[in-house]
Structure 1
Amino acid sequence: MISTIKINSEKCKGCSLCIKACPKQCISLSKQFNKAGYHWAVLEKENSCIGCGFCYMVCPDVCIEVYKDL
């Protein structure tokens, strides 16, 4: 099974809740800033994502989408 997430970099405020919620520790903050001046979350370890959706559930700005392929 291949899973991944997509993060809207312009909506993300870099709160780090998704980073703390990820059981596989595959999310980190970018080194760049978005237009609002925040470091946004990025999927760093693409092959480690299991598509659990914890990041999606804790995101207060609803900027994460979870994708699962069977």
Structure 2
Amino acid sequence: MSPSSQAGAATPYPSTIEVSGLSSSIVSVAVRLNRLSHTFPDDLDIVLVGPSGQAIMLMSDAGGATSI
């Protein structure tokens, strides 16, 4: 099966980012999605989850039916 015809969670899912050595709290986060492609981006849900389970929906049902 080619990558463009697969369905399901992204690989890797979930994607874990380790942060260490900070002397203070994180006050700002920037998110960049590299090499994202999908034939129907309205299907995508992008969520950022913190270490204590707090979550924010960054993108959901956005983009319609135009391939990205």
The TM-score, its normalising length taken from structure 2, stands at 0.29
* Structure with more of its chain in strand, by fraction: 1
